[in-house]
Amino acid sequence: MRNSLYKKIGNATKWSTITEILAKLVMPVSNIILARLLVPEAFGVVATVTMIVSFADMFTDAGFQKYLIQHKFKTEKALYDHTAVAFWTNLLLSIFIWMIIVIFATPLTNLIGSPGLEAVIIISCISLPLTSFSSIQMALYRRSFDYKPLFLTRMISICVPFVVTIPLTLLWNSYWALIIGTLCGNLTNAVILTLKSKWKPKAFYRLSILKSMISFSIWSLLESITVWLISWGDVFIIGTLLNSYYLGLYKTSMNTVNSIIALITSATVPILLATLSRLQDDEQEYQRMFFKFQRLVGVFVFPLGVGMFIYSDFITSILLGGQWEEASLFVGIWGLISAIAIPFSTYCGIVYISKGRPKVSFWAQILQLIVLIPVIYISANYSFTTLIYSRSLIRIEGFLVHFLIIYYVFKISPWKMIRNVMPCIVASIIMAFVAIVLQRFYDGFLWNIISILVCIVLYFGVIGLFRDVRNELVLILKYNKKKASSTEKDID
């Protein structure tokens, strides 16, 4: 059974990683084009609209997706019955919330300091019923470690900007191109996942099943709301105190970094949640798997964060263009902090959910919000630079919160977490020193590319000196080589 689980994990990780790598190769191209066609103000409008849609979308999911992944069902019928109840609840809630937004669109836009965007918000919220069709099927795929269909869906959806958004931008030169492109992507996901899913919507609903899901889902929903407040509360404050230019600068910088970091998180977080959920009754194996994921991810994420910090000017000019020069400082700082957050913060949150303790995750987010909101409000009144430093430093406070909880509630040692990734930290520091030295010689485009390649080779050379890490990487390479060979035989 354990070998079967490991094979599923390995296969899921392979497809998830391939998906994210290809997505990160394609999506930056569209972002590079759009960042040069649209001004920061347009991205500020989209950020405001996305804030509203993402908030409403939390209520339509109501935490059922995490429940379906985490919960242990005795039979497939029980799983599908719970899935049907979750699906119809999501759909009805999404339509109801969309109607509320339509009715109160004007007061809502006045509240967020963006009067005149009523039509934009109403049309954007068509995404709510569309995502309700895809989110449940996505949960079932992730629960069963079946990431191959998700790969196909993602590949088709990332082509939408080239087919819809960029042509509309060339014709229209408006934020409407971004909004329509997003809707087309959501529609594509809904259609493909519904058609390919083994489970299909059926005329079944039982209040007793809904009641059994509510206890977990309510706390999961509350946890999602606090996560939203951490992700978007700053946008609301900045949109109120500053103008659309700085809001676009702020959110686009953050989104640029998050899209790069998502190469790691999107490929591993859903798999780690499903894996730990299956192992929640075997504490020894649970912790072993947690630390294995943490270290392997640390191997890639720490140098990524250090690289974004040191080469922030270069990354900003490549991905966003010259008109986004002011974003460089935030891209670098946020990139470094976000990379560190994955093994020390994000993965702690996965532990809470996989153990069926969303209440713990909720209080962890509350402890961060208590600091976040007043600090953002005060720093935004000083300057944009002060805001950047404040927002980044607040995230470090989150590490301390998670360390305390993971130790006292789940008996996982924060010191062991740090020691587990110490080889990655040491190699990243050495790489950083060499990168800084290389930058002092020259600062041209070609030289930056060469120095980045030198740093990559140096980093993995240093990592190779640590036997435990080297052995794990060798095992992964052997596994992938074996999988590739078996695939070639199947094709033949």
Among residues 368, 392, 420, which one ends one of the domains? 420
pLDDT of residue 490: 38
Domain boundary, last residue among 392, 420, 448:
420
* pLDDT for residue 485 is more than 60: no
Q: What is the DSSP string of 389-440?
A: HHHHHHHHHHHHHHHHHHHHTT---HHHHHHHTHHHHHHHHHHHHHHHHHHH
pTM of the entire predicted model: 0.68
Q: Residue 444: how many CB atoms within 10 A of its CB?
A: 10
Q: How many domains does the chain have?
A: 2
Q: Are residues 396 and 411 in the same domain?
A: yes
Distance CA(92)–CA(294), nearest Å, equals 38
Angle in degrees, CA 115, 56, 387, rounded to 5: 65
Residues 318 and 426 in one domain: no
Do 71 and 165 lie in one domain? The reply is yes
Give residues with Cβ within 8 angstroms of 54, minimum separation 6: 228, 231, 232
Where among 363, 396, 420 does a domain terminate? Answer: 420
Same-domain status, 365 and 436: no
Residues 352 and 461 in one domain: no
Rounded mean pLDDT of the chain? 80
For 162-207, give the DSSP string: IIIIHHHHHHH-STHHHHHHHHHHHHHHHHHHHHH-SS---S---H
Percentage of the chain beyond pLDDT 70 is: 83
Q: Which residues contact 475 (CB under 8 A, 6 or more apart)?
A: none
Q: How far apart are CA 426 and CA 126, in angstroms?
A: 48
pLDDT tens digits for range 347-400? 898 898 888 888 888 888 888 888 888 888 888 888 888 888 888 888 888 888
| 159 & 75 share domain | yes
Give the whole-angstrom CA distance, residue 53 versus residue 168.
Answer: 22
pLDDT for 492 equals 36
Do residues 302 and 436 share a domain?
A: no
- Please name which of 128, 114, 155, 4 lies closest in space to residue 57, comparing C-alpha atoms: 128
What amino acid is encoded at 388 in this protein? I
| Residue-wise pLDDT tens digits, 140-158 | 887 877 767 777 777 777 7
62-76, 81-95, 416-430 — most confident range: 416-430
Give me the residue label for tokens 């993995």.
460
Share of the chain above pLDDT 90, in %: 15
Do 30 and 96 have their domain in common? yes
Would you place residue 194 in the very low, low, confident or very high pLDDT band (cuts 50, 70, 90)? confident
Q: CA quadruple 94, 96, 102, 107: dihedral positive or negative? A: negative
Cα–Cα nearest to 321, from 22, 1, 39: 39
Structural domain harbouring 477 = 421-492
